[in-house]
């Protein structure tokens, strides 16, 4: 079969890499893909925003299955268009993707489903929002309702900060329409974990638990990023906790979506806060996590095509994902300055040496080739150096051995990826 991956980041490189190894897959395409992804797939220059162009491409080149990486095409309704044209695609439709595109919608679904989550209020007016923040007490969390490229969440330690965040979203239009509605939410303490499942809208295929590192600097300091590294399994989500998450979070959410007539066939990614053995939902995403997808694809023994088709065809309930009994760790190598401004175009050395290590895959998130054929950095997150070994400790060591073979000017790497999984009391 011929498979198309939509997107061009590290997550999509990992998906394309996994699909390319599938016995059932004859050829993988990526749109738009990237120079890095072109090592495992044929890249076609159509962007995720051009839904009609993608549907035409799929018909023209005879794609049997399309897998969507990022949330934006899902929120824009790519699945609705493909379904109308009889094209097989994996992901929720536009209404289902609201789960990521609207935090207020997510909260409604969670409350309706009885899923534990932070107390909240939804506002379009400034004064009632300010008042509610004071009722919740400090710290308090202010969230733009819509998609805001990961920047729409402000954790406020003072009411002045909360008022500032609310004013910038509701009055100054900081995020445009995405911030015209806000969610004001109770601050939750605990440890975060990512729980990613695949669903056909009825049953659930759990993926292995994973955990990412959102802040840019060691010790979880500095601004939030898309994710500076990830590991799987995540010891905080053991088998009993995974069962609890499915029973109290994932399945009730799937049932509530179905109850609203939403036919959700895709990835359901719960961002969890776990405290005293109890999971609460921070957010939902409607796609694979990035970088979490990278260690997950390394550890997944099942055919990804089989899992995806089980969801599209309504067989999730009778399907399980098989995982290698080992661990994988992804260390993100970023451009210095990210998530703020950074320089591009520096020559990257050592990728081949790193990738030659047994158990290591180097996924490309933001690279290109210069005229001389050298790899150069063109994005904030540049490489996801991902290693698989018997334990988290060994995989971490292997990942850093690979990272240390790679260099460019101003490269930034967190040095403490997975440390919490190795010694849980580490800060």
Partner whose binding site includes residue 141, from ligand AMP, ligand GLY, none (CB under 5 to 8 Å by kind): ligand AMP
What is the C-alpha end-to-end distance of the chain, expressed in Å?
47
Partner whose binding site includes residue 191, from ligand AMP, ligand GLY, none (CB under 5 to 8 Å by kind): none
Q: How far is the CB of 11 from ligand GLY (least distance, A)?
A: 7
Residue 187 near ligand AMP by CB under 6 A: yes
Residue 185 near ligand AMP by CB under 6 A: yes
Partner whose binding site includes residue 411, from ligand AMP, ligand GLY, none (CB under 5 to 8 Å by kind): none
Contact window for ligand GLY (CB under 6 A) among 32-40, 183-191, 284-292, 393-401: 284-292
> Quick one: 71 or 309, whose CB is closer to ligand AMP?
71
Residue 141 near ligand AMP by CB under 6 A: yes
> Quick one: 99 or 133, whose CB is closer to ligand GLY?
99
> Quick one: 134 or 409, whose CB is closer to ligand AMP?
134
In the stretch 311-350, what mask flags binding to ligand GLY with x, by CB under 6 A? ----------------------------------------
Residue 198: closest CA among 287, 271, 283, 115: 287
Place of tokens 């055919």: 303
Residue 47: closest CA among 103, 107, 17, 6: 6
CA dist., res. 89 & res. 85, Å (int): 11
Q: How far is the CB of 313 from ligand GLY (least distance, A)?
A: 27
Question: 386 in helix, strand or coil?
Answer: strand
Place of tokens 């609201």: 98
In the stretch 200-229, what mask flags binding to ligand GLY with x, by CB under 6 A? ------------x-------------xx--
Residue 7 near ligand GLY by CB under 6 A: no
Question: 134 in helix, strand or coil?
Answer: helix
Contact window for ligand AMP (CB under 6 A) among 186-194, 200-208, 249-257, 358-366: 186-194
Contact window for ligand GLY (CB under 6 A) among 20-28, 285-293, 389-397, 417-425: 285-293
> Quick one: 146 or 289, whose CB is closer to ligand GLY?
289
CA dist., res. 359 & res. 402, Å (int): 10
Partner whose binding site includes residue 314, from ligand AMP, ligand GLY, none (CB under 5 to 8 Å by kind): none
Contact in structure between 142 and 135 (CB atoms under 8 Å)? no
Distances (CA, A) of 14 to 5, 296, 373: 10, 9, 22
Q: Is the dihedral angle over the CA atoms 15, 299, 365, 349 positive or is it negative?
A: negative
Residue 12 near ligand GLY by CB under 6 A: no
> Quick one: 82 or 284, whose CB is closer to ligand AMP?
284
Residue 67: closest CA among 24, 23, 7: 7
Residue 150: closest CA among 285, 330, 267: 285
Contact in structure between 240 and 251 (CB atoms under 8 Å)? no
Instruction: Determine the distance from the C-alpha atom of residue 99 to the mean position of all C-alpha atoms in its chain, rounded to a whole number.
Output: 14
Contact window for ligand GLY (CB under 6 A) among 116-124, 215-223, 246-254, 289-297: 289-297
Q: Is the dihedral angle over the CA atoms 149, 152, 156, 159 positive or is it negative?
A: positive
Distances (CA, A) of 331 to 297, 365, 419: 15, 12, 12
Q: What residues line the site for ligand GLY (CB under 6 A)? A: 212, 226-227, 285, 289-290, 292
């Amino acid at each position: 079969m011929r498979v198309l991956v939509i997107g061009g980041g590290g997550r999509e490189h990992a998906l394309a890499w996994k699909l390319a190894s599938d016995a059932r897959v004859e050829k993988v395409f990526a749109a738009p893909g990237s120079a890095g992804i072109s090592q495992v797939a044929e890249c076609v220059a159509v962007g995720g925003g051009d839904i009609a162009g993608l549907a035409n491409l799929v018909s023209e080149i005879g794609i049997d299955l399309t897998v969507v990486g990022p949330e934006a095409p899902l929120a824009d309704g790519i699945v609705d268009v493909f379904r109308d044209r009889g094209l097989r695609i994996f992901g929720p439709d536009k209404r289902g993707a609201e789960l990521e595109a609207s935090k207020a919608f997510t909260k409604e679904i969670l409350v309706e489903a009885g899923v534990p989550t932070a107390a909240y209020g939804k506002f379009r007016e400034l004064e009632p929002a300010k008042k509610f923040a004071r009722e919740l007490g400090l710290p308090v969390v202010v969230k733009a309702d819509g998609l805001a490229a990961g920047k729409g969440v402000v954790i406020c330690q003072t009411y002045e900060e909360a008022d500032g965040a609310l004013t910038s979203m509701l009055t100054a239009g900081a995020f445009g329409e995405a911030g015209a509605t806000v969610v004001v939410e109770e601050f939750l303490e605990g440890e975060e974990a990512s729980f990613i499942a695949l669903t056909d809208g009825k049953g659930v295929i759990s993926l292995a638990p994973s955990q990412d590192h959102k802040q840019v600097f060691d010790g979880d300091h500095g601004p939030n990023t898309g994710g500076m590294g990830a590991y799987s399994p995540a010891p905080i989500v053991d088998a009993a906790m995974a069962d609890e998450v499915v029973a109290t979070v994932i399945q009730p959410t799937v049932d509530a979506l179905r109850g609203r007539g939403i036919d959700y066939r895709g990835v359901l990614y719960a961002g969890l806060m776990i405290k005293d053995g109890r999971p609460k939902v921070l957010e939902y995403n409607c796609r694979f996590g990035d970088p979490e997808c990278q260690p997950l694809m390394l550890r997944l023994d099942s055919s990804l095509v089989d899992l995806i088709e089980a969801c599209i065809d309504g067989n999730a309930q009778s399907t399980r994902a098989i995982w290698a009994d080992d661990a994988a760790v992804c260390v993100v190598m970023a451009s210095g300055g990210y998530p703020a401004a950074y320089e591009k175009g520096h020559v990257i050395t050592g990728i081949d040496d790193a990738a030659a290590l047994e158990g290591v895959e180097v996924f490309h998130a933001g690279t290109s080739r210069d005229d001389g054929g050298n790899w150069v950095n063109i994005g904030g997150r540049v490489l996801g150096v991902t290693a698989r070994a018997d334990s988290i400790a060994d995989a971490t060591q292997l990942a850093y051995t690979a990272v240390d073979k790679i260099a460019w000017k101003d490269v930034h790497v967190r040095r403490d990826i997975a440390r919490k999984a190795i010694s849980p009391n580490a800060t």
